[in-house]
Amino acid sequence: MALTALKVKNAKPGRYVDGRGLCLFVKESGSRSWVLRMQHNGRRRDYGLGSALDVTLTEARDAAAALRRQVRAGIDPVAERRKSRKVVPSFETAARECYEALKDGWKNQNYRNWISSMENHVFPLIGRKPVDQVDNTHVVEVLTPIWLEIPDTARKILQRIGAVLDFAHIKGWREEEAALRSVRKGLPRQTDKVEHFKAMPYAEIPAFMKELATASPTTGRDALRFTIYNAVRSSETRKAAWTEIDLDKAVWTIPASA
C-alpha cells in the first residue's frame, strides 16, 4: 500500500514500501530515510535519497523516478555521483599548484623564495587544511609569530596567501575570492624602520678608486668599478647583457624593465 505524508510522519521503527522499490526506513532513534532498491542486470543496489526530514514523499518519488531513468539509459548513478563530488586539495597542494602555474611569468628572481617562505612559515601551521576552509583567523595565526619579527617577509607572505586563495577560487576549490583586508586589524601595528647602508663621503672616492685599481683583478673588483663609474645600482650591473652595450659608441642602454 502506497505511503502518505501522514504515514511517513507517524511511522514507527521499521521498513515501509511505497512502491517500485522506494522504501522508508525508520530507526529506533526516530531517524527516517528514503532508499530506492533496484535490480539491474541481475544485481541489486540500494540508493540513498536523503532524510525524510528534508525530503518529502513527493520529492523522494521524483528522485526515484529520475534514478530509474538513469539506470534504463545505462548510466550508473553511483559512478555519476562520485564524478560530481568536488575534491578540495589542501592549502599546501593548492599553493604548490599556484606557484607552478604563475612562476614562469615572474621576472624578478627573488620570487624563488616564494615557496621557501611558505615551507618555513605557512605549511607547518595550515598546510594540511583544505584550502576552502582557510579563513582570516588562520591567516592571522600564521602571521602573528613573524609579523613584528620579520615584518617585510610577513607582508609578502600575506600577499602570497591571498594569491593562493584567489587561485583556489578560480580553480573552483573555494566559493568566494579571498578577502584578507581585515587580517591586519587582528595584528599589531608594524614599526619597522628601513636602515640604508652608509654612503662613502664623496671626498674619499678618488683615493678609494686608486686603491681599487691596484687590487687583484677579479670579476668582483671590475664589477664594482663598473658600477661606480656608471653610477648605477649593483643589480643593474649584475644583470647587464652584452646586447645592451655598444662598445664603438661607448654607450650602455639599460632597458626600462631592468
The candidate with the shortest Cα–Cα distance to 113, out of 143, 157, 158, is 157
- Mean pLDDT for all residues in the chain: 87
Give the pLDDT confidence score for residue 150 in this predicted structure.
92
Q: How big is the CA angle at 47 (ends 42 and 49), to the nearest 5 degrees?
A: 155
Q: Encode pLDDT of 163-217 as tens digits.
A: 999 999 998 898 887 788 889 988 998 875 656 678 888 899 899 999 999 999 8
Q: Encode pLDDT of 25-67 as tens digits.
A: 999 888 899 999 888 777 788 888 888 888 899 999 998 998 8
The H-or-E segment that residue 61 falls in is: helix 57-72
Nine-digit cell at 116? 621557501
Structural domains of the chain ordered from first start: 5-84 (3.30.160.390), 91-186 (1.10.150.130), 202-252 (no CATH)
The candidate with the shortest Cα–Cα distance to 78, out of 23, 38, 42, is 38
What pTM, to 2 d.p., does this model score?
0.49
Find which of 68-77, 152-161, 174-183, 230-239 is predicted with most confidence, using mean pLDDT: 152-161
The H-or-E segment that residue 121 falls in is: helix 113-121
The candidate with the shortest Cα–Cα distance to 157, out of 174, 61, 149, 202, is 149
DSSP-derived pairing of the beta strands 251-252 and 245-246: antiparallel
| pLDDT at residue 152 is higher than 60 | yes
Give the pLDDT confidence score for residue 178 in this predicted structure.
79
Give the number of other Cβ atoms within 10 Å of residue 227's Cβ: 17
| pLDDT at residue 258 is higher than 60 | no
Give the pLDDT confidence score for residue 62 in this predicted structure.
93
